[in-house]
Structure 1
Amino acid sequence: MGIQCLTTLIEEHYPSRTWRTITPRGELVLDGLSVSRTLSSSKKFDWVHGGQYGELRDHFIRFFSRLRDSGIDPIVIFDGVDYNQEKRETILRRMKKKVRNVFKGIINDERPSGSAFPIFTDVVFCETLKELRVKFIFADGDADRDTARIANHYNCPVVANDSDYFIFNLKAGYIPLDCLYWDQQPVEAKLYERDRFAYKFYFDHNLNLIYLIPAIMGNDFMDKVESPSLKRDIKATKRRAIKKGTQIKEIIKVDDDNFEDKLEILYYISIFNTVEDFQTHLSKIPLDDGHDTVSIIDEKYKDAKEMYDVDKISMADLVESKNLKKANGTLLPDIIRQQYRKGFIATSVMVVIVLNKYIVPVMIDNPHDYTAMRIGKHIRKCIYMILSPYLSESEVTETTITHYMEEPDDEMVSWTNVSHLNLPCIDDVIGLSEDKRIELLCEVMKTPLEVQAKLESKWKLVGVSLHYWSQHAHPDIHLIEALVLCFIRCSFNETVCPSNKVLDHRRDEKWLKALHTFAQWSCTYYDAFRLNNVLMNPLPFMSPALLFNGKLVMHYACTREFNVQKRKILESSNAKAFFDKLVSVCTCT
């Protein structure tokens, strides 16, 4: 994320004068997506089976407990809706990479570089924050600017895994997540400070020169400048430096040539006294590439300065921010905005409200099957119908990416064929009783009210999802029992079953079928979670960390010893009675 290669350049090549070691205390602002994804990408978490959520939750708890034990008060800021759609291409590119990773991990049985995060990864992270009472908030759009502004308000560092923070004007500096030594007491960190970076690269005489780095190199919002004329001038500047006896590699120590062009750009920028000097020089060099390079860089520089040169904002003021609007252009009701800020309305729901679009998540699934997300299409249509007064069109654009597709597939999804349900619009939902909203949820999920009525509160949404899954995925009784047994093992035991203690199985057709069937349950529970949000959460949401262990459920699906293991786990009469109750939820019609 951020500016390509900048993290490596800074971390590997300039530690001596750019960094200092600190012991953080008090507030510490964390980029939620960065922290969630970085902690989840550890090699010990096997994503190939669909999600080791209990182990992830334990890892998240340990991380935040260590911070608090060291006197740190964490504040987490999450990305919101890309309401200007500036990152759409970046998001789709990352999804394509995830599709490739899933194929390599499942079919070729290899661990590709990078991870394919299971669908509930960020949800489990957010639910863990609620459980620990860690302060967090969802931003309007990309969280980077708001994260920097809140850090400036508290005069504390930002922790993230995003090279954009090297450029922001952070008052108290930036700590890359791998430079936060949280697994020790007291917690220590290597702190990056922009002023030291400017001094190292001779930008300290005019800090605005720093904004030329993203303007030329590009970031998630801006493409890098591709100008043969500029490249020639950078090379010519290098030759002049060498002729004068000044070696760039003496100024910037580097052991390899992979980043030499980036280093040359940094040196090139540093020879100018001001941005105006840079622009004047650029206007005088011959431009024969058919592009107005001067104007292009000038626009990118202005955009970069606006993005990275931030003020400060309090959490309370961010809660009241009204940048997000409905797709039809009108303001969001306060209750919707506030529920979203607090994590009670999923960002994926807000994307529909704001953009009239939905990017279907990439699943850990059998690559030879069509996406398991298809199972929830009826639920999503009902969500769109409830949200329809907020939308600008009578259809929602769903974007899907699978292994079979060279390009993303856009499908216009209408809710007309569920209009007979006469579902209330979102504004009317807000005023309905809890019982009525539960009734609506069961109606959408095609589940008899008795199903949820016979389960205790925290299991109701799970039970409704199980019933819908069993009626639409048509799993055989063995797969139903495997999934329910997994739920009981994960929720009844105080200790998480470590995946390295669970046997792996040969990835044959039986294995792939089970993977797809359990992916369908994950998709059902995900869409039920979103429907519950739209209905103002009449049912409690049970974290997947207390339900689903992908490797364990796949083991139950494939082992010949299933009945033996089932008897052992269900020795308790309570466990046996609850197992029978959940299985009956799946088999009732």
Structure 2
Amino acid sequence: MGIQGLTSFIDHSGTFLKDDHFRHSRLIIDGSNIFHFLYFNSSVDLKHGGDYDDFEDQVCEFFKALRDCGIEPYVVIDGGSDHTDKKFETLRQRAQSKINNLSMGLQGDRIIPVLVKQVFKQVLSSLNVPFAQCIFEVDQEIASLAKRWNCPVLSKDSDFYIFDIQAGYLPFFHFQWQNVSVQGGSSQNYIPCKRYTTTSFCRHFNINRQLLPVFAAIAGNDYVNLTNMGFSIRWKGYPQMESNQKPSKF
């Protein structure tokens, strides 16, 4: 779904993401996010049919890094579109943006080859990585599973800044899986990353944890666009609070 501007705000705030040495844990992975990210960051040839063998190598390296650190991955993948079509306008705008950029020769919105998702699932099967595919959108299912197993979520979807996941959310942009390190004084491998919890966010802004979904709607997401209604939150203009400043109650 995505909360407009929230990822950039949290990245730039320097307040909510805490350094973490991640190892020896279960990990719920947002599969659709990850295969997009791995594909577009694997130096594959985007112009000649997919270059699926190089993509396979990238996926294998990723899951090897996890297992070298004792991390047990479980991948959950998006299914079809919501039958209510609540997200239709957002999907239409994204598709139009890609068409416009490609027609002008821009590379900002790259088109993923049609078989990448199928290749990703085949590689997961060959590596014996457990995975499931949802009927519709995956976010709520991932959050529920993470709560049940008390383990973090790996994704790059800003929705997970809102879900109250006790074990936290690991943004993929900060998940340094290609930089596996060794814990000082031991032989244990870990992946340097940053971990987010709603506790720090709610404490900072004095927000009732149960009202986070309302906050997400106010901020604007793929289903609710308050800008079109004459209201919006501009994260760039939000002042950073000083340590001695008391936040207002939400």
Identify the TM-score tier after normalising by the shorter chain.
0.7 to 0.9
Q: Is the 8 Å Cα contact of residues 24 and 188 (structure 1) preserved in structure 2?
A: no
Matched ranges for 1:357-368 at <5 A: none
Q: 1:28 to 1:249 in 2, by over 3 A?
A: same
Secondary structure of 2:47's counterpart equals helix
Judging by fraction of residues, say which structure has more strand.
2
Aligned-partner residue type, residue 192 of structure 2: E
What is aligned with 1:62? 61
Q: What's the CA shift for 1:210?
A: 2.5
What is aligned with 2:219? 217
Q: 1:129 to 1:33 in 2, by over 3 A?
A: same
Judging by fraction of residues, say which structure has more helix.
1
Secondary structure of 2:239's counterpart equals helix
Q: 1:74 to 1:252 in 2, by over 3 A?
A: farther
The answer as to 2:129 corresponding to 1:134 is yes
Matched ranges for 1:39-438 at <5 A: 39-42=38-41, 44-81=43-80, 82-104=82-104, 108=105, 110=106, 112-185=107-180, 186-203=190-207, 206-228=208-230, 249-251=239-241, 271-272=248-249
Distance 2:129 2:67 in 1: 10
Distance 1:252 1:102 in 2: 44
What is aligned with 1:31? 30
Q: 1:209 to 1:39 in 2, by over 3 A?
A: same
Q: Is the 8 Å Cα contact of residues 161 and 169 (structure 2) preserved in structure 1?
A: yes
Tell me the alpha carbon deviations over residues 517-575 of structure 1, each in whole angstroms, 9 at most, x when there is no partner. xxxxxxxxxxxxxxxxxxxxxxxxxxxxxxxxxxxxxxxxxxxxxxxxxxxxxxxxxxx
Runs of 5+ consecutive residues of structure 2 not aligned to the other structure = 181-189
What is aligned with 1:21? 20
Q: What's the CA shift for 1:173?
A: 0.6
Runs of 4+ in 1 over 4 A off after TM superposition: 225-228
Aligned-partner residue type, residue 74 of structure 2: I
Counting aligned pairs with the same residue, the percent is: 30
Distance 1:123 1:103 in 2: 27
Distance 2:108 2:18 in 1: 28
Q: 1:24 to 1:87 in 2, by over 3 A?
A: farther
Q: Is the 8 Å Cα contact of residues 35 and 160 (structure 1) preserved in structure 2?
A: yes
Aligned-partner residue type, residue 87 of structure 2: K
Q: What's the CA shift for 1:156?
A: 0.3
What is aligned with 1:2? 2
Distance 2:228 2:98 in 1: 27
Tell me the alpha carbon deviations over residues 423-472 of structure 1, each in whole angstroms, 9 at most, x when there is no partner. xxxxxxxxxxxxxxxxxxxxxxxxxxxxxxxxxxxxxxxxxxxxxxxxxx
Q: Is the 8 Å Cα contact of residues 31 and 147 (structure 1) preserved in structure 2?
A: yes
Distance 1:196 1:36 in 2: 29
Q: Is the 8 Å Cα contact of residues 80 and 139 (structure 1) preserved in structure 2?
A: yes
Distance 1:10 1:216 in 2: 17
Q: 1:252 to 1:54 in 2, by over 3 A?
A: farther
Distance 2:16 2:5 in 1: 19
Q: What's the CA shift for 1:225?
A: 4.8
Q: 1:248 to 1:37 in 2, by over 3 A?
A: closer
Distance 1:43 1:131 in 2: 20
Tell me the alpha carbon deviations over residues 393-443 of structure 1, each in whole angstroms, 9 at most, x when there is no partner. xxxxxxxxxxxxxxxxxxxxxxxxxxxxxxxxxxxxxxxxxxxxxxxxxxx
Q: Is the 8 Å Cα contact of residues 21 and 190 (structure 1) preserved in structure 2?
A: yes
Please provide the CA RMSD for this pair. Answer: 2.5
Q: In the comparison of the two structures, how many residue pairs are matched? A: 235
RCO higher in structure (CA 8 A, sep ≥6)? 2
Q: What's the CA shift for 1:26?
A: 2.3
Q: What's the CA shift for 1:248?
A: 6.2
Q: Is the 8 Å Cα contact of residues 26 and 73 (structure 1) preserved in structure 2?
A: yes
Runs of 5+ consecutive residues of structure 1 not aligned to the other structure = 236-246, 254-269, 274-589
Tell me the alpha carbon deviations over residues 232-259 of structure 1, each in whole angstroms, 9 at most, x when there is no partner. xx99xxxxxxxxxxx9635179xxxxxx
Q: What's the CA shift for 1:154?
A: 1.0
Tell me the alpha carbon deviations over residues 251-309 of structure 1, each in whole angstroms, 9 at most, x when there is no partner. 179xxxxxxxxxxxxxxxx6235xxxxxxxxxxxxxxxxxxxxxxxxxxxxxxxxxxxx
Q: 1:75 to 1:252 in 2, by over 3 A?
A: farther
Q: Is the 8 Å Cα contact of residues 60 and 128 (structure 1) preserved in structure 2?
A: yes
Aligned-partner residue type, residue 112 of structure 2: F
Tell me the alpha carbon deviations over residues 179-227 of structure 1, each in whole angstroms, 9 at most, x when there is no partner. 1111122212210011011112222xx2234233221122122223545
